[in-house]
Structure 1
Amino acid sequence: MSERAKPIPQDTATGESTETEADESQSTDGAGQDSETEQQAENGDTAQAPPRTGATAVVDALETAGVEYAFGVQGGAIMPVYDALYHSDITHITMAHEQGASHAADAFGIVSGTPGVCLATSGPGATNLVTGIADASMDSDPMIALTGQVPTAFVGNDAFQETDTTGVTAPITKTNTFSSHADTVGRDVSEAFALANEGRPGPTLVDLPKDVTQAETDVEAIEPTTPDTYEVTERAEDDAVRAAADAIESASRPVMLYGGGVIKGDATEQAREFATEYEIPVVTTMPAVGAFPEDHELAMEMAGMHGTGYANMAITHTDCLIAVGCRFDDRLTGGIETFAPDAEVVHVDIDPAEISKNVHADYPLVGDAATVVEQLHEAIRAPPQTKKWRATCQQWKSEYPMDYRAPKDEPLKPQFVVEAFDEATEDDAIVTTGVGQHQMWAVQYWTFTEPRTWVSSHGLGTMGYGLPAAIGAKLAAPDQQVVSFEGDGSFLMTMQELSVAVRENLDITVAVLNNEHIGMVRQWQDAFFERRRMASEYHWCPDFAKLAEAFGAKGITVDDYDQVADAVTEALAYDGPAVLDFHVDPEANVYPMVPSGGDNGQFALEDDHL
């Protein structure tokens, strides 16, 4: 039930309404005319509107920006803003924990392409948002956080629930603001909203002292606008584009490397057209999954630590790497000295700070992804000759297929569960995940063909991200199926958000790949710490299906292969949240795997290869 659904309070003894006289004065007679208003009209009086406050300005700024949903948790210092939301058309989703609010807002921004909004009170409310803010920062996701703060006169005095929120979040926000006056607080929020999505997206924050949100103001809301000093380069320099185009034309083994910036920059269409017209194999980073259809013959899928063998081979042997919207993080590159060692690198990015930060760019192109790809497209005079190279890439696909053993006499394989869901859902179904082995199996064994259908925590690697993200994703795209893959350890971190999914009657499906371990840690301990499984094994795990039923969701337990298809069908058909507890092989590992800092071309396909 959303925050706007407010039941009439009743006397607990009599069951009769306990509305106050003020409440009763708002009821209407049979003619639909408030009696008090009639009397005022007869006397020539008009009812006074409540005074406009800083909190009103905050909410007006959100409404002017087109915000439909806000995710948060109430509290003392943020209470004036919530009071203003009472009269707003914005639907507030009360989350079980502020971290859940930040992840839901983050996912809403990923799926919708517009900033998600989260709110929390001062002190612990604000600090509980920090993990989600840092997550959005690492992944360049558009989000705005609004935090309550103690009155300005108390700031610095260690007041109750005081935290230096702007100081704490400065390293993990694109911008943050301590709002100091009721006349400027609306503009602060509008500006933060605009900055969250302009240029390279990211989280922004506005800290709202209680006296500022309670003070009166007559300043009206404005459209979201970035500061005059904020500039974004849209087009790359023509000479640089010409040089990069020449390099692409002369390449014999070119590879397109699409990063998350392709999706965030709405450049998917341009990226697909460029690759297909010039017949260049395409590799993606994990945040870019869905930027290029994985069922296309040019698709080499995801590269990096747990990328496909053929994607990593293509990266290792390319002579021209065209990277778009990619920050070259260590999970992609492995050891920098062995990453694409023979390649000239064309790097397109809207953030000049990313150019040559990790991998040297021979042809730096600063600008908007869609715009610069179009510039390159127009500049190419003769396409590269890729026939032989494409045949080599197809051969690698045959040599290093994404397959796995699934003997019937062994425990259920998690990969089989992912494939079963993929087969049973629509092409535009949205997948969210927590972090760990289940995340890797989900991205490896689901065939992604559309952008904004893969929602996960990449740079920060936040366990527990999947369920609250599914809530945000479903509200952003109510007509699309949403499946969240979680591990047992990851699910335990934020499973309280299941109460929100039930309350709001959200049709989401949670698949817990339950191996009774913190699986990725266990895999690394087995590989690199002589199987010393310290603090990675759960010797006891709750019954997740029963817990789901206790929350009011549908719960299903699955133990073997014969149960999978029916369970998946039943859960997807259920109108509301469903949780499936899949008891999977506790010894299953994620492969391919490149050891941290290793050579992408030397990936392991099984334990003995490490």
Structure 2
Amino acid sequence: MDAKFEDIKADTSKELNSTEQQSHSKPSRPFLVAEAVVKILENLGVEYAFGVSGGAIAPVWAALHNSSIQVLHFRHEAGAAFAATEAYFASDRPVVVFATTGPGITNALTGLLAAGWEGAKVIFVSASTSAPQRGRWAFQETTAYTTPCTGIVSSLEQIFHYAATVECSDRLPEVSRRLTVGLAQPGGFVAHISIPTNIQTNSLKTSLPEVTLSHAVATVTEETITECARLLSERPFAIWVGFGARQAAEEIRQLAQRTGSAVMCSPRGKGIFPEDHPQFIGVTGFGGHKSVLTYMEEYCPLHTLVLGTRLGEFTSFWNPTMIPEQGFLHVDIDPNVPGAAYPDAKTFAIQSDIKVFLKELLKYFPAKNSHSKPITLPQPELDLIKPCRSGLVRPKVLMDAIQQVIIEGSDAVVMAESGNSFAWGIHHLRFSKPGRFRVSTGFGSMGHFVTGVVGAAHAMNGKAVAIVGDGAMLMNNEISTAVQHQIPAVWIVLNDSRYNMCGQGTTMQGFKGINVEIPQADFVKIAWAMGADGIRVERESDIQAALEKALVSTNPFVLDVIIDPSWKAPIANRINNLISQSATNY
């Protein structure tokens, strides 16, 4: 975790209980619970709060507006939660999502589940029905009478790492402590603080103690490092890099160059190890490259060092070809991860911060002799195709143009939405630095990046680009929010008038005649109607100029690209995996 969170100080007792500070600008009055909660959030390092207002959450909403926290009012709670997830990864600071009772909470849940799967740090603050009104069918009643509360507003780790209902101000010291502990831990943390409407305006009746916590970095013993070095020295090994290793990019590069190891990455791990490096053999799993399987079958590494990936379905498809002869050395901060994806494979589990582990391991591998001849490894094929002046836009041509204009011509973060969009992006786009590519291959919700791009661009104070399908764009977008706050988000819409991943996938599974078509939308007109800019691209020869215009625009910008739907996306390994599971539906 970043150093700014290593010593979190929630020093609220002085500020929350001192009426003298308030008397400088207005008459003294008791501090409210809503204000106390917001002050706790400020002291935890929160800079952004995204959400949708409502009567039941109004006191907290007002307190947020009167704080140092930047408040963005979204159009849908799920969009706010997706945006909060991406704002966390862009800023490395916890982000608040706020919502009112009833549908405000249930709308947000999809985005909050995604935050948990992605490993973000998000605090959800919502209202609940006041005690005197419970069971009386209050408007949007949110209580055990009407809502399945288990795991939503109770402390069960089903949806949230921590959940609490603040029934009185005496609960706030414990809430502050639990949030501080959760945010100080490595990995993700998603919490839910539910506050009944009447409690929000209650006077604070308790002091909040100062809490100072230091984050202890998980590491390993010298004996474990020595054994890892011994195993990896037996024969050339492979390195499998995941999103959890993004803070250790330099150490991974050093280890690979000193040992001559082949390096592959998960779809979420693209760019942590440069994809143009001669030792990079490709992306594994969904949208991945055949060169990885070629390497495993022909070079037969004795071990694979796994760094920061769960090796889940979209990373590995649990393909037995990926199991090395003597098994995995799997490093992760979560002790439950090693061995879970491949329970029958020999796995040497190491619970550690990856950067700390690699720094110690590198001591056993001195700089490689520069005169030694490097091994030629299989690499992904880069088959460039020339643009045509007629016909619909081929997705591969669009990806080549994005590579040239956006990736190589700017420092913008690129995001790929679930569906064929992330299949094309994973397979064809190449990154040489970490932190420039985002994709969700775990929870994989449609709508994640059509809204997440707004949170990322806002937190970066710069350009973020989302590659999305027309189905996702129609489902849930926050163009209007970006316009309101002048956030320079860019949407590149693959407009083929259908849910094409579903159409292509079901056909490959042998199901015929399923209707996946949707009426073609004009997303430029939609963008204009909301106050954004946009261009419709119908010819491949116009792609580059349109991308360049989007890149320099200071306004939210939509590129509506009319895609040839007949081109098959690189999803065959996903479909084959479904068939192997005897799937009967898509």
SS at match of 1:500: helix
RMSD between aligned residues? 2.9
Structure 1 residue 197 displacement after superposition: 5.5
Alignment length (residue pairs): 543
Higher mean displacement: 323-332 or 312-321: 312-321
Residue aligning to 1:124: 103
Aligned: 1:559 with 2:544: no
User: Structure 1 residues 251, 46: CA separation in 2 closer, same or farther (over 3 Å shift)?
Assistant: closer
Residue aligning to 2:225: 241
User: Structure 1 residues 166, 382: CA separation in 2 closer, same or farther (over 3 Å shift)?
Assistant: same
SS at match of 1:459: coil
Residue aligning to 1:430: 413
* Equivalent in 480, 483, 494 of residue 476 of structure 2: 494
Structure 1 residue 261 displacement after superposition: 0.9
Check whether the contact 1:432–1:484 (CA below 8 A) recurs between aligned residues. yes
* Equivalent in 393, 398, 408 of residue 417 of structure 1: 398
Residue aligning to 1:550: 529
Summarize deviations over 1:517-563 as a string: whole Å, max 9, x none: 11111111221124x2424222x222111111111111211101111
Structure 1 residue 132 displacement after superposition: 0.8
Residue aligning to 2:310: 327
Q: Distance in 2 between matches of 1:105 and 1:598?
A: 32
SS at match of 2:194: strand
> What is the letter of the counterpart of residue 49 of structure 1?
S
* Equivalent in 507, 521, 524 of residue 488 of structure 2: 507
SS at match of 2:304: strand
Q: How does 1:52-451 map to 2 (within 5 A)?
A: 52-155=31-134, 159-161=138-140, 162=142, 163-165=147-149, 167-168=151-152, 170-185=157-172, 187-189=174-176, 191-192=178-179, 194-196=181-183, 198-217=185-204, 219=206, 234-252=218-236, 254-263=237-246, 266-316=247-297, 317-359=300-342, 360-380=345-365, 390-391=375-376, 393=377, 396-397=378-379, 400-401=381-382, 410-425=391-406, 426-451=409-434
User: Structure 1 residues 179, 541: CA separation in 2 closer, same or farther (over 3 Å shift)?
Assistant: same
Residue aligning to 2:583: none
SS at match of 2:487: coil
Q: Any unmatched runs of 5+ in structure 2?
A: 1-22, 581-586
Structure 1 residue 575 displacement after superposition: 1.6
Q: TM-score, normalised by structure 1?
A: 0.82
Q: Distance in 2 between matches of 1:224 and 1:533?
A: 62
Check whether the contact 1:196–1:204 (CA below 8 A) recurs between aligned residues. no
> What is the letter of the counterpart of residue 503 of structure 1?
Q
Summarize deviations over 1:165-221 as a string: whole Å, max 9, x none: 563474122222222321333651563255146222132222222233221115566
Q: Distance in 2 between matches of 1:542 and 1:598?
A: 33
Q: Any unmatched runs of 5+ in structure 1?
A: 1-40, 603-610
Structure 1 residue 102 displacement after superposition: 0.2
User: Structure 1 residues 279, 212: CA separation in 2 closer, same or farther (over 3 Å shift)?
Assistant: farther
Higher mean displacement: 129-138 or 155-164: 155-164
Summarize deviations over 1:384-415 as a string: whole Å, max 9, x none: 99978831x2xx327x4455686655421122
User: Structure 1 residues 560, 47: CA separation in 2 closer, same or farther (over 3 Å shift)?
Assistant: closer
Check whether the contact 2:427–2:570 (CA below 8 A) recurs between aligned residues. no
Q: Distance in 2 between matches of 1:131 and 1:267?
A: 30
Q: Distance in 1 between matches of 2:324 and 2:419?
A: 29
User: Structure 1 residues 569, 401: CA separation in 2 closer, same or farther (over 3 Å shift)?
Assistant: closer
Residue aligning to 1:471: 454
SS at match of 1:172: coil
Q: Distance in 2 between matches of 1:386 and 1:236?
A: 34
Check whether the contact 2:391–2:539 (CA below 8 A) recurs between aligned residues. no
Residue aligning to 1:33: none
> What is the letter of the counterpart of residue 485 of structure 2?
E
Residue aligning to 2:3: none
Q: Distance in 2 between matches of 1:542 and 1:374?
A: 52
Structure 1 residue 300 displacement after superposition: 2.4
Structure 1 residue 459 displacement after superposition: 0.5
User: Structure 1 residues 386, 238: CA separation in 2 closer, same or farther (over 3 Å shift)?
Assistant: farther
Structure 1 residue 433 displacement after superposition: 2.6
User: Structure 1 residues 556, 583: CA separation in 2 closer, same or farther (over 3 Å shift)?
Assistant: same
User: Structure 1 residues 268, 381: CA separation in 2 closer, same or farther (over 3 Å shift)?
Assistant: closer
* Equivalent in 484, 490, 512 of residue 466 of structure 2: 484
Q: Distance in 2 between matches of 1:412 and 1:438?
A: 14
User: Structure 1 residues 430, 556: CA separation in 2 closer, same or farther (over 3 Å shift)?
Assistant: same
> What is the letter of the counterpart of residue 486 of structure 1?
V
Check whether the contact 1:420–1:564 (CA below 8 A) recurs between aligned residues. yes
User: Structure 1 residues 46, 251: CA separation in 2 closer, same or farther (over 3 Å shift)?
Assistant: closer
Structure 1 residue 100 displacement after superposition: 0.5
* Equivalent in 423, 431, 435 of residue 452 of structure 1: 435
Check whether the contact 1:482–1:507 (CA below 8 A) recurs between aligned residues. yes
Check whether the contact 1:52–1:217 (CA below 8 A) recurs between aligned residues. yes
User: Structure 1 residues 339, 156: CA separation in 2 closer, same or farther (over 3 Å shift)?
Assistant: farther
Structure 1 residue 274 displacement after superposition: 2.1
Q: Distance in 2 between matches of 1:375 and 1:223?
A: 35
* Equivalent in 496, 513, 517 of residue 537 of structure 1: 517
Structure 1 residue 164 displacement after superposition: 4.5
Q: Distance in 1 between matches of 2:25 and 2:537?
A: 65
Residue aligning to 2:9: none
Structure 1 residue 273 displacement after superposition: 2.5
Structure 1 residue 101 displacement after superposition: 0.5
Structure 1 residue 579 displacement after superposition: 0.6
Summarize deviations over 1:83-137 as a string: whole Å, max 9, x none: 2123212110000000001000000111222222211112111111111111112
Structure 1 residue 597 displacement after superposition: 6.2
> What is the letter of the counterpart of residue 309 of structure 1?
K
User: Structure 1 residues 186, 455: CA separation in 2 closer, same or farther (over 3 Å shift)?
Assistant: farther
User: Structure 1 residues 548, 333: CA separation in 2 closer, same or farther (over 3 Å shift)?
Assistant: same
Residue aligning to 1:34: none
Check whether the contact 1:107–1:116 (CA below 8 A) recurs between aligned residues. no
Q: Equivalent pairs: percent with the same residue?
A: 26
SS at match of 2:476: helix
Structure 1 residue 421 displacement after superposition: 2.5
Q: Distance in 2 between matches of 1:384 and 1:139?
A: 39
Q: Distance in 2 between matches of 1:450 and 1:333?
A: 23
Structure 1 residue 583 displacement after superposition: 0.3
> What is the letter of the counterpart of residue 538 of structure 2?
D
Summarize deviations over 1:38-94 as a string: whole Å, max 9, x none: xxx9xxx99523321111111101111222211011112221111212321211000
SS at match of 1:397: coil
SS at match of 1:432: strand
SS at match of 2:286: coil
Check whether the contact 1:61–1:187 (CA below 8 A) recurs between aligned residues. no
Check whether the contact 1:355–1:361 (CA below 8 A) recurs between aligned residues. no
Structure 1 residue 143 displacement after superposition: 1.6
Check whether the contact 1:251–1:384 (CA below 8 A) recurs between aligned residues. no
